[in-house]
Structure 1
Amino acid sequence: MIVTKSREEIERMAAAGAIHTRTMKLLAGKIREGVTTAELDAAAEKYIRSQGAIPSFKGYRGFPGSICASPNSMVVHGIPGPYALAKGDIISIDIGVTYDGWVADGAVTFPVGPVTPVAEKLLDTTKRSLFAAVDACQAGNRLGDLSSAVQTVVEAEGLSVVRSLVGHGIGRDMHEDPQVPNYGEPGRGPLLEPGMVLAVEPMVNAGRHMVRMGDDGWAIYSQDGSLAAHFEFTIAILPEGPRILTPWHEEGIGE
């Protein structure tokens, strides 16, 4: 069942989103060669808790980290640890924040110094596909309209949408209905109604779309070892248009 939110509830989610955005900005300033993903995780948890909020991922279904940190061919769900960032890496940072009982979720994939042309294209395309989805988050559209928007941008560049991983509704719980695929046909699926809040998260491989599970039971990699990128917003559907509740882009993050 899709649970719509009132204006007041969306404002409370936006408060969680503001903490999320500040956390992402903090980590953006720390991403450099030699920094470990465990150090990024510790910084995120310390800051989130200093704001009176909770890292949503910590302990969620047994996940041990406060963030997901997924380098290179790892698509999502990387457990922070001793991995040290190297020049030329790309690293997806996915953060969830729970504040006053409401959840905000978002992700950015960062370059670590100069990266290859393939990586540059992957990051640019994945981010553009997210903004195409935002544009499609209009009341009266169908879920397939935003899914198709992502797919169209990605496949026009010869890249692949990961099909076995999806976005989701979000609110008091991290994962609510509906599932939000990053591919599909326009005009299909549930109607987008005012008060719906979606975590929209294109996950894109530079190679083929298939993925595999890592040995730790959490990390998911591109099956062919190609680079992967992940960008995400929490988006509220409003009568006047979409509202991004985790507006990391307004801080210049991901540019």
Structure 2
Amino acid sequence: MHFGTQKLKLKEPQRDRMRAACSFNAQVLDMVRSRLQPGVTTEEIDNWVHTYTLDHGHTPACLGYLGFPKSCCTSVNDVICHGIPGPYRLQEGDIVNIDLTSIVDGWHGDQSETFLIGEVSDEARQVTQCSFDALYAAIDALQPNCRISEIGKAIVAVARQFKFSVVQEYVGHGLGRQFHQEPSIPHYPTPESRLQRLAPGICFTIEPMINVGGRNTTLDRGDGWTVRTKDGTLSAQFEHTILMTEDGPEILTLTADGPQKGHQF
């Protein structure tokens, strides 16, 4: 992903704009949740997202972004991220990450969730649980002006408990009027993340990608977007947009019907 140089500390009116964008984005995800079942194609999911977003007067941020051809990302099984919706029909036992970003009055809301399709394997359930738990462990580690590396430390600790791996090539990011901006939010500790701090007013995503096998990835040369696990094992991801406030982190993309902190899959 390409990051802009903007590292905006939002003031209260701007924070409310972000809250509105993220609230709508969560609403879109709940709409998808209510329709998801075996036999649905990933193209249908994209059509739901596209139509619902436009019908409410907003814009799907993914469509056309750096040439991406669809309005959301649908990443099934061994696809880590950036899966392009198409004719594939979801099958009993699949896991699928649906990644949505909406532009509401010029501001971006961004989140993703991994869904279990029917009865899934223990391995599929565990990798989904690991990513979900890692996301919330990272949020719990946050406090005003903390180092960004606290996020990566928390995520790696959870992955080790499950004996899974953390993808390193793809990271969280600052968010606001731009889709991707500073700061970069790696999901493992880096020298840079140990130096950078999250001051009140900074808005960003945390989106740990967890693999059952090794952390290595491979990019589909055919479409230039789809990222898979190199060893073909399952991968899961959850993402929230977070606003750092003077009192601590505020999750802006909570859904009304989705899993909340502590959920067991």
TM bucket (normalised to shorter chain) is over 0.9
Deviation above 2 Å: which 4+ runs of structure 1?
Answer: 250-255
> Does residue 194 in structure 1 map to residue 200 in structure 2?
yes
Q: How does 1:32-111 map onto structure 2 within 5 Å? A: 32-111=37-116
Q: Which residue of 15, 20, 38 corresponds with 2:20? A: 15
**Aligned residue for 1:237?**
244
Unaligned 5+ segments in structure 2 are none
TM-superposed CA distance for 1:135, in Å, is 1.2
Given the two structures, how large is their TM-score scaled by the length of structure 2? 0.93
> Does residue 182 in structure 1 map to residue 201 in structure 2?
no
- Cα distance in 2 between the residues matched to 1:146 and 1:189: 13
- Cα distance in 2 between the residues matched to 1:70 and 1:133: 23
> Does residue 212 in structure 1 map to residue 218 in structure 2?
yes
> Does residue 203 in structure 1 map to residue 203 in structure 2?
no
- Cα distance in 1 between the residues matched to 2:202 and 2:66: 24
- Cα distance in 1 between the residues matched to 2:88 and 2:223: 14
Unaligned 5+ segments in structure 1 are none
What amino acid is aligned across from residue 234 of structure 2 in structure 1?
A: L
What amino acid is aligned across from residue 240 of structure 1 in structure 2?
A: D
- CA deviations 1:121-163 (Å, max 9, x no partner) are 1011100100111112211210001111111111221000001
- Cα distance in 2 between the residues matched to 1:245 and 1:236: 7
**Aligned residue for 2:235?**
228
Of 224-233 and 186-195, more deviation after overlay is shown by 186-195
Q: How does 1:140-159 map onto structure 2 within 5 Å? A: 140-159=145-164
Identity %, equivalent residues: 37
What amino acid is aligned across from residue 229 of structure 2 in structure 1?
A: S
What amino acid is aligned across from residue 7 of structure 1 in structure 2?
A: E
Q: How does 1:128-143 map onto structure 2 within 5 Å? A: 128-143=133-148
Aligned residues of 1:155 and 1:161 also touching (Cα < 8 A): no
TM-superposed CA distance for 1:252, in Å, is 2.8
TM-superposed CA distance for 1:10, in Å, is 1.3
TM-superposed CA distance for 1:253, in Å, is 3.9
SS in 1 for 2:197: coil
**Aligned residue for 1:247?**
254
TM-superposed CA distance for 1:190, in Å, is 0.7
- Cα distance in 2 between the residues matched to 1:111 and 1:251: 15
RMSD between superposed Cα atoms in Å:
1.4
- Cα distance in 2 between the residues matched to 1:218 and 1:146: 26
Given the two structures, how large is their TM-score scaled by the length of structure 1? 0.96
TM-superposed CA distance for 1:18, in Å, is 1.1
- CA deviations 1:170-204 (Å, max 9, x no partner) are 11011000111101169813111000001110011
